[in-house]
Amino acid sequence: MSQILWADDEMELLKPYLIFLREKGYDVISVNNGQDAIDYCASQTPDIVFLDEQMPGLSGIETLQEIKSIRPELPVVMITKSEEEQIMEQAIGQQIADYLIKPVNPSQILMCLKKHIHRKEIVEQETNRTYREEFSDISYMIDTAATLQEFMAIHRTLVKWDLQLSDADSSMREILNQQSKQANAAFTKFITRRYEDWFTQGERPMMSPDLFKKVLFPMLDKGEKVFFVVIDNFRYDQWKVIQPMLSEFFTVTDENMYLSILPTATQYARNAIFSGLMPSQIREMWPDLWVEEEEEEGKNLNEKDLIQTQLDRFRKRYDFSYYKINESDFCEKITKQFRQLRSPLNVVVVNFIDMLSHSRTDSKMMRELMADESAYRSLTQSWFRHSPTLAMFRKIADLGYKIVLTTDHGTIRVNNPVQIIGDKNTNTNLRYKVGKSLNCQDKNIFEIQHPEKVGLPCPNVSSSYMFCTDVDFFAYPNNFNYYAQFYRDTFQHGGISMEEMLIPLITMEPK
């Protein structure tokens, strides 16, 4: 039973309200002065307080201050005869939950209770009801999807419900998880049937090598000033949780997605973005800028040079700046330098989320902090709100630059190990393997036996690529159980899933 504490020096006049609320099932405690209300809150925890603004002795504002100092989370509703602006500002400054103007009526009281006591329960019930109604429509979308745009629409819809059901009961969450699994299975079939044809037979959808040519160059050719911000490992659901923070100083003019190439890994996807080439083309045209899988050298150290090769190839004479942010201090430093920028194109790579996902693999504490998808999003949201990255975006808006915000690939939480055998030069990524004599008997694996057909380098004549789908990850037979347990429920990338391949491409302009 929800408990209401009502403080008013004219409680005798409020008896009809008290009777009405008790008949509705509320436990109502009444006091006739501010000090009694404070004393009650010091020893008990009501669900809500109705507080008269004008009482003898302690005023409503003074009582509010004391109650908030004792129980800052307690919702307090101010009831006042006065509509003076100063009183309202004081009450709002002390974080009242709401205010009502006398004379109040029972329906106002009930609405106030629903808003502040029962809101979560009502929202949850309505969300569950609406999702149940839409469930069949989503299933139909999944069953009939035949184009990439339709799968993008499915992914948007599932992310929307994932966000709304984050705090809902487990039965609805489980149904959504099963529907997401069904959608990823359909998406995997779509990709594996069409991926090679996009490179050998027909026009492909917009993919990693196309971003400069199809998005950035048209903006620059119109004389627009652009920041191209690439947040590594950045998924569509993570975009949706940081979007409200950016909406304070940016207007989203285009919320789109594009398709990451395979493998969905930095060495391939991000280098393809900056070069405007498929990985095999980079290796052939710029061998000094390509790093083989087995080499220990960092795989993303040549990004600035790759950008320059693309500008030169398309005869674009734009000056550009390039920054890679791995630490907060460096983010603060370069943000201060932005006021001296004169380049129409400015490229910023932010690596935090990639480090976050890898830290979950390596740290027991981070595993507990990111126990599931909702917690992963929450940590991303908290990082963005409190990091210098948000201040960087604000500065970009102040300077009047448009932003194209995207990523090179997403990530997925894996939990099903599959055995694979390869030689000693096989790469270490858990979602894809490239090497000679790869052997995996799992029927869900997607194998590319002729890498050159899809723009992938072939380290050896007999090299092939294998990709995990769904929530699978590769593990070798040696110490299989140990590695299976160690990597289960970690966030990985490199394979085929909507989370990894359907990634945000957002255009924003400053307000």
Across residues 442-467, what is the average pLDDT? 94
Secondary structure class of 413 (helix, strand, coil): strand
pLDDT at 363: 67
pLDDT at 136: 96
Domain limits, CATH 3.40.720, in the chain: 208-412+500-510
pLDDT at 301: 87
Residue range 3-117 in CATH 3.40.190.10: no
The full DSSP string for 280-344 is HHHHHH-GGG---TT--S-TTS-HHHHHHHHHHHTT----EEEEEE-SHHHHHHHHHHGGG---S
Whole-structure pTM value: 0.86
pLDDT at 235: 96
C-beta separation of 460 from 437 below 8 A: no
User: Considering only 54-68, 119-133, 150-164, 411-425, which range has the smallest mean pLDDT?
Assistant: 119-133
C-beta separation of 68 from 93 below 8 A: no
The CATH number of the domain covering residues in 208-412+500-510: 3.40.720
Domain limits, CATH 3.40.50.2300, in the chain: 3-117
Across residues 267-272, what is the average pLDDT? 96
pLDDT tens-digit map of 399-447: 999 999 999 999 999 999 999 999 888 999 999 999 988 999 999 999 9
Residue 324: other Cβ atoms inside 10 A:
17
pLDDT tens-digit map of 43-54: 999 999 999 988
Across residues 380-398, what is the average pLDDT? 94
pLDDT at 348: 97
Q: What percentage of the chain reaches a pLDDT higher than 70?
A: 94
**How far apart are alpha carbons 6 and 427 in whole angstroms?**
67
pLDDT at 182: 98
The yes-or-no verdict on residue 115 having pLDDT over 80 is yes
pLDDT tens-digit map of 165-188: 986 666 788 999 999 999 999 999
**What is the 8-class DSSP label of residue 207?**
B
pLDDT at 98: 87
Q: Residue 93 burial by CB count (10 A; 0-12/13-18/19+): exposed, middle or buried?
A: exposed
C-beta separation of 503 from 206 below 8 A: no
Provide the CB-side half-sphere exposure for 194 (13 A, CA).
17
The yes-or-no verdict on residue 362 having pLDDT over 70 is no
Residues 6+ apart with CB under 8 A from 361: 486, 487, 490, 491
Q: Phi and psi at residue 76, in whole multiples of 5°?
A: -120, 130
pLDDT at 361: 60
Q: Phi and psi at residue 209, in whole multiples of 5°?
A: -70, -5
Q: Residue 210 burial by CB count (10 A; 0-12/13-18/19+): exposed, middle or buried?
A: middle
Helix 373-386 × helix 148-164 angle, to 10°: 80
